Amino acid sequence: MKTLLITGAAGQLGQLLRRQYAAQRQFKVLACDSAMLDITDDSALQRLFSAVRPDIVINCAAYTAVDSAEQQPERCMLVNAVASASLAALCRQYDSLLISFSTDYVFDGQHNAPYTESDPASPLNLYGKSKLLAEDAVVQAGRYITFRTSWLFSALPGNFASSIWRRAVRGEPVSVVSDQLGGPTPASALAEAVYRLTMDYAAQTCLPYGLYHFCGYPYCSWYDFAKAIYQLAAPQHQHCLTAINSPFPGSLAVRPAYSCLDSSLFQRTFTQPATDWRTEIESYVKKMRV
Ligand X SMILES: NC(=O)C1=CN([C@@H]2O[C@H](COP(=O)(O)OP(=O)(O)OC[C@H]3O[C@@H](n4cnc5c(N)ncnc54)[C@H](OP(=O)(O)O)[C@@H]3O)[C@@H](O)[C@H]2O)C=CC1
Ligand Y SMILES: Cc1cn([C@H]2C[C@H](O)[C@@H](COP(=O)(O)OP(=O)(O)O[C@H]3O[C@@H](C)C(=O)[C@@H](O)[C@H]3O)O2)c(=O)[nH]c1=O
Contact partner at residue 168 from ligand Y, ligand X, none, CB < 5 to 8 Å by partner kind: none
What is the x/- site pattern for ligand Y, positions 254-283, by CB under 6 A?
A: -x----------------------------
What is the x/- site pattern for ligand X, positions 91-130, by CB under 6 A?
A: ----------x-x---------------------------
Q: State which amino acid sits at residue 150.
A: S
Per CB under 6 A, the list member of 3, 40, 86, 175 interacting with ligand X is 40
User: Do 16 and 188 form a contact (C-beta atoms < 8 A)?
Assistant: yes
Q: How far is CA 217 from CA 95, 194, 221, 275, 280, in A?
A: 35, 18, 12, 6, 11
Q: Does 61 bind ligand X (CB under 6 A)?
A: yes
Q: How far apart are CA 80 and CA 138, in angstroms?
A: 11
Q: How far apart are CA 158 and CA 101, in angstroms?
A: 18
We find the least distance from the C-beta atom of residue 168 to ligand X, in angstroms, to be 19
Q: State which amino acid sits at residue 211.
A: L
Per CB under 6 A, the list member of 4, 5, 12, 114 interacting with ligand X is 12
Per CB under 6 A, the list member of 151, 212, 219, 266 interacting with ligand X is 151
Where along the sequence are the contacts to ligand Y (CB under 6 A)?
Answer: 64, 66, 103-105, 150-152, 160, 163, 174-177, 180, 222, 246, 248, 251, 255
